[in-house]
Structures are given as structure tokens and as C-alpha cells.
Amino acid sequence: MRIFLDKKKFADAVHTCARFAERRAATLPVLGAILILAGKEGIKLRATNLETGIDLALSGECKEDGVVAVPAVVLEQLSAALSGEGALELEHAGDVVRVVAGPARSSLKTLPYEDFPALPLPEGKSHFAVQGTLLKELLVAIASCSSSSTVRPELASVYCALSGGELTLVATDSFRLVEKKVALGKGGTGKFLIPAKNAVDIAQALPAGEVTVSFDEHQCAFSFAGGVVVSRLTNAAYPDYRQIIPKEAAAEAVVLRKDLDAALKRATIFADAFQKVTLFFDPKKKALGILAKNQNVGESADSIGAASTGVPLELSFNHRYLSSALALTGAESVTLTAAGLGRPLLIRAKGDPSFLYLVSPMNQ
């Protein structure tokens, strides 16, 4: 194999692919490698850790065809350290690959590539198209709300449901739940569960342009101009979360997002070991009180202006769950709806019906 590439583009592509290579040492060595393929289909980089996988096309000149597997870590370090612009030559000879960038010459040990697995693509016909930037942003934001424990695999996943030209993404760790909707403009139905940590990796690799997502029962693929990313799907039933969204409102407060965010930041300093802050719905004073108390630090009482209705109500929350809700929406004001003591609190963005956040209170 002998190919000529652009230094900068190569470094970017290697950086993207390296994320998909296996990082643990105790598995098949070739999984820790990036496969460089040069042939009729052009130049391609490929990597997989058996959970996710990527296949990325790269523009360049191909003098001689061939395949070579190079350890991802070393290749990433090397390509990131190449300074300046210009061309790069890769030549495979024996069990090394020579990398020539101007006067800098290095030769890397290669790995046998015969064991490199094929990337499985979904067999079904279900698919939809969505803008890469949008999907990227959504996946990262939503995945952060899924469970980090793998005891319940469905909760460690992002739930994607397609119906009526609308894509709904949901994640929950059983303490809070986020739902976001995106209009796609085209029909189709289906649903699947992507493991949350795969979703984050995939999001990083997506380009800004249009991405086609296809899926079947076990596998999904995100294809875009010049590449495809695949992931295994979680094969489990997702709880019918709509049932736990409270329908009645005992107290409701509309507050400015910035005000609440700032007040939570102040209260956080005084939160106790359980990260507890207390919200007080005060319809009489048209305010929302935020209280925190830590025996070792001290205590704080704060209040922000709120269009508040209903009955006076006091609920305690883990402040992290509250502030992460505020980070998920860009709306100016948010509506907090409490269904009662011990019942979850519903957070919605004013003027943005596509966003919904549910957070469970602490024991009083």
C-alpha cells in the first residue's frame, strides 16, 4: 500500500476513528487498531470495539492498493503531533508502515488485520433523515440523563421513537427523565434503544450535514456523505414513561431560567451531603423560594420572582437534577409544575412544547 494524504484531514479522521477503537488491553489486539484500506473504493479508515464501529472515507491519492492495521493510540498521537500543512505519505512495507511528512520520517509497527471484524449494518428498511448538527446536540444532551449503571440496560440507553413525522428521544436514570421531540417532516414508525455511551461516541463523529439513520432489531447505522457509524442496540423493553408524567398540578411556577440557574448555583454551596435543596412554591408572594442547609457550612434562603399559582408547597430535590434540566433548554423561562408531596416535578420550557423534564423529589 502506498497513499498520499492531506496532513490535516488525516489527523482529523484519525482522531474521529480512534474513539471507536477498543481501549481496553485484554481483548483482541486488532480491535485496538485503525484499519487503513486503500483500493477501488478510495481510501478508508475503519475502527470498531464491537459495540460501535466507524467507516470513514478520506480523500487522497492512492498509488498502490493494500490494507494495514495500525494501533490507534500511536497513530492518533503521531497524527496529532504533525505540525503545519502539506501532504503525508503512507507506505506499507513488510510489517511496518512508513509515515513521511516532509523531512519527518517514522515507521510504525503494524498488526495482522485478518481478524478485523466486518461492520454489521441493519438489515431492515426502517430509516429516517435528520440534520447532523441537531442530532449531535440532542444525543449528547439526552444521553447525559441516562443511567450510568448497567443493571438495567434499557435505562442505560437513549430511547428513540419515530412516529407521525416526529422523532422523540428519551432518557432516564429513574431519578429524572428527559424527553425531547424533533420534527422530521416525514412519516415512518419504529423505535429503538441506543446504549447511551455509544450515543455519545456516535454524536462526536457525526458531521454537520444530513445524516440517515437506519435501524433493525439489533443494529443501527448513521450514514452520511463519506462514512457510516454503526452501533449495537439495546434489546429490551422500555417502560411506558408517559404513565408517570403527572397530569394534575397542585402548584405551578413560571420563572426566568437565568434567575433559577443563578439561585441554584448559590444554594448549591450550602447543599448537604445528599445535594439537597428545597423549593418552596409561594403563590401568595408570587415567588419561588430556594433553601439549602448544611450543618457544617451554614444555610441559605433565596427567593426569585415567579408567576406562581396553586397551593403553597415545599419539595426537596437533588440540585444536580434541577440544574441539568436548565442546561437542556435554551428557553427564556421555564414552568415548574408540582403534582404534590412525594410526586415528581415537571419542568417545561415556556414556548417550547418539544421539551419535557421530570424529576423525582427526595424523601422529606
Partner 1 sequence: MDRTNPKELWEHVLTQVELSVPPAAFSTWFRDSRIVKIEGGIVYVGVPSQFFRDMYVKKYHLLLLKIIRAVSYEFRNLEYLIVKDERRKPPREVKSERPTIELPLDDFYINKSDNLNPRYTFDSFVVGSFNELAYAAAQAAIERPGIAYNPLFIYGETGRGKTHLIQAVGNQFKKLYPARKAFYLTSEKFAVDYTDSVQQGAANRFKEKYRQYDLLIMDDVQFLSRKEKSEEELFHLFNYLHDNNKQIVFSSDRPPLAIPDIAARLAGRLASGMTIDIGEPDSESRMAIIRKKAALHGVYLSDEVVEYVAGAIGGSIRELEGIVNNMVCHAQVKGAAPDLIEVRQSLRSFARPQKAVSVKQVVSKVSEYYGIDEESIYEKTRRREVVRPRQVIMYLLREDFNVSYPTIGTKLGGRDHTTVIHSCEKIKREVIEDNILAKEIQSIRTLLV
Return the beta strands (E) in 125-236 as ranges: 126-131, 157-163, 166-172, 176-183, 190-195, 210-215, 219-224, 227-232
Contacts of 222 (CB under 8 A, 6+ apart): 135, 202, 206, 211, 212, 213, 228, 229, 230, 231
Q: Which is nearer to partner 1, 242 or 284 (CB)?
A: 242
Q: Least distance to partner 1 from the beta carbon of 22, Å? A: 9
Cell of 172: 432516564
Judged by CB under 8 A, the residue of 2, 166, 175, 333 near partner 1 is 175
Q: Least distance to partner 1 from the beta carbon of 122, Å? A: 8
* Separation between Cα atoms, residue 9 and residue 101, nearest integer Å: 13
Does position 341 interact with partner 1 (CB under 8 A)? The reply is no
Q: Least distance to partner 1 from the beta carbon of 286, Å? A: 28
Q: How big is the site for partner 1, counted in residues (CB under 8 A)?
A: 53
From 46-54, 84-92, 257-265, 299-307, span contacting partner 1 (CB under 8 A):
46-54
List the x/- string, 176-215, binding to partner 1 by CB under 8 A. Answer: xx-----------xx-------------------------
Q: Least distance to partner 1 from the beta carbon of 326, Å? A: 18
Strand partners, 126: 215
Spatial contact of 38 and 69, defined as CB atoms under 8 Å apart? no
| Of residues 92-121, those binding partner 1 (CB under 8 A) | 115, 117-118, 120
Judged by CB under 8 A, the residue of 23, 27, 133, 286 near partner 1 is 27
Report how far apart, in Å, the C-alpha atoms of 33 and of each of 28, 37, 138, 324, 352 are.
10, 13, 29, 36, 44
Q: Least distance to partner 1 from the beta carbon of 2, Å? A: 29
Spatial contact of 240 and 172, defined as CB atoms under 8 Å apart? no
Q: Least distance to partner 1 from the beta carbon of 125, Å? A: 11
Residue position matching grid coordinates 505540525: 83
Judged by CB under 8 A, the residue of 81, 150, 330, 351 near partner 1 is 150
Among residues 237, 169, 160, 165, which one has the least CA distance to residue 192?
A: 160
Contacts of 229 (CB under 8 A, 6+ apart): 20, 52, 53, 54, 55, 202, 205, 206, 221, 222, 223
Does position 244 interact with partner 1 (CB under 8 A)? The reply is yes
Judged by CB under 8 A, the residue of 98, 197, 232, 350 near partner 1 is 232
Contact residues toward partner 1 (CB under 8 A) are 26-29, 31, 48, 50-51, 53, 115, 117-118, 120, 149-155, 172, 174-177, 189-190, 217-219, 232, 234-237, 239-244, 274, 276, 317-318, 321, 342, 344, 358, 360-363
